[in-house]
Amino acid sequence: MWFLCVFFHRLLDYRRAEVESLAVLFGSDGDGNRSLEWKLPEGHHIDSPFHFVSLPSEDIARKIANRSILVKGIYEVWGQGDNHEELEVAIRKFPEERMSPYLTEDSTFRIIVDSFGKVISFQEQNERIEGLSYIPFKGRVDLRNPDHKFWLMETDDYGSNNGLPPVMKRKIFFSREVGAADRKLLPTYQLKSRKYLGPTAMDAEVAFLMANQGLAQPGKLVYDPFVGTGSILVAAAHFGAMTMGADIDIRVVRDGRGPDCNVWSNFKQYGLPMPLSLLRADNNLPPWRPGLKEVFDAIICDPPYGVRAGGRKSGGRKLLKGAIDPYTVPEEKKSDHIPSTAPYSLAECMHDLLDLAAKMLVMGGRLVFFYPVLREDGTTNAQFPEHPCFTQIAACEQILSLRYSRYLLTMVKTGAYTEEIAETARKMHLNFKENHLKWLEEGNLHSAVFSPVDSQSLSGNPKFNRDSKPKYRGKKV
């Protein structure tokens, strides 16, 4: 069945990937590796908020819309046209047997007029609703809690002059709402009202997107090896998943800012189930016993890559270089001891993360993480880490500055972990390091992103001339 999927106009690269993950979660695709079928309305740009998507049933469409972060609503289209005359012709051709269950006398309804790219006054909205008198509504109007909602949505032929994706011509849709997003979710979990925050706390919207990509749901166990203040686990716990986290900084995991301001208090604030455990652990030296395998359904994390915080691993510089011998912490000092650490390069972090996921994820489990990319001349040329146990199914770019963006990578475990696989993965990792920039190995992304730029070279380049920039600067343009 074809439905009209209307997105919020933000995080453009994440939109289809989220819907496809939720379609897997709600049972529309058994193996999780096939993409849904999509198509655009005639004359629309790929960045348009209007997309048609094929889903197996209305029930699945409703569940996707209700849980999604970027979907505004999913609708059954009764008619579309370039003007109201064409719209009326299309609606009259819509099968009566599909319309009649929603037009009965004992039902209530509401018609909502919406637009993208222009503002419609209240008077114009009333005129458009009155123009739909040819639809045989028999029920009673209820503006607060109707049984059925109908949407009259318009786009304008605004071209490229107002910062929105170009549309070649006007389009009008009349649709029945199948499902809509939970508008209270993000305001409830916004960071500015959260008790315990750190400098790398994940934005609530992105954390929920990551939880959706990881298919968080009741009965699933989600692990974050770089838990920090727990933003990602809060999102996973909201969807009913069991959670577990680890961090190398014992002060973050154990202490926070006091007994009433720590990771645990974030879960208490929202009335969520507490994590099964929060560990002080090093991703470079994981604490799991050798016989423990395949316990996590998803690993969702934001690895440290040196912009807001650099990666650290156990050992300290002198200890790692052999300048001093390994030491034993006296028993009386263990409770307050903070182990020494050393820089942890992004290349090494990626290898350890993929190796951990290959060992600990169940078959079909998902690894969801951010990966940074330097942009040259305003474009990205990304090479992503790989592992023979995984199939990458989504790479969603978020452009953060002229020189730096990050991708949300989603991988599905499709192969069992063996010693032969581990050796193949090690060789793939070495090849990955050799073909990457120096900052990857040194973990010095901060200086690469924020190094001074020669203003004269930019001013002489027409690409950076303010007047020459196109009005719409969406991802695909």
Mean pLDDT over 66-81 rounds to 97
The closest alpha carbon to 285, from 333, 231, 326, belongs to 326
**103-117, 137-151, 326-340, 365-379: least confident range:** 326-340
- Number of residues that make up the chain: 477
Q: Which two tokens stand for residue 50?
A: 């209007």
Tell me if residue 427 falls in helix, strand or coil: helix
Mean pLDDT over 54-81 rounds to 96
The closest alpha carbon to 409, from 390, 425, 430, belongs to 390
CA distance 247 to 237: 18
220 alpha-carbon distance from chain centroid: 19
DSSP letter at 374? E
Q: What is the pLDDT of residue 341?
A: 84
Any residues with CB less than 8 A from the CB of 122 and at least 6 apart, and which? Answer: none
Angle between helices 58-67 and 15-25 (to 10 degrees): 120
Does residue 389 surpass a pLDDT of 70? yes
Find out whether 405 and 373 touch, Cβ atoms under 8 Å. Answer: yes
pTM, to two decimals: 0.89
Burial string for 139-158 (b: 16+ CB within 10 Å, else e) reads beeeeeebebbbbbbbbbeb
For a pLDDT cut of 90, what percent of the chain falls above it? 61
Q: 333 versus 451: which is more confidently predicted?
A: 333
Q: How confident is the model at residue 168 (pLDDT cuts 50, 70, 90)?
A: low
Q: What is the pLDDT of residue 467?
A: 46
Helix (H) or strand (E) holding 76: strand 71-81
Please spell the DSSP secondary structure of 82-148, one letter per residue. SSHHHHHHHHHHS-HHHHGGGS-TT-EEEEEEEEESS---HHHHHHHHHTTTTS---SEE-SSS-SE
Phi, psi of 17, deg, nearest 5: -60, -40
Does residue 66 surpass a pLDDT of 50? yes
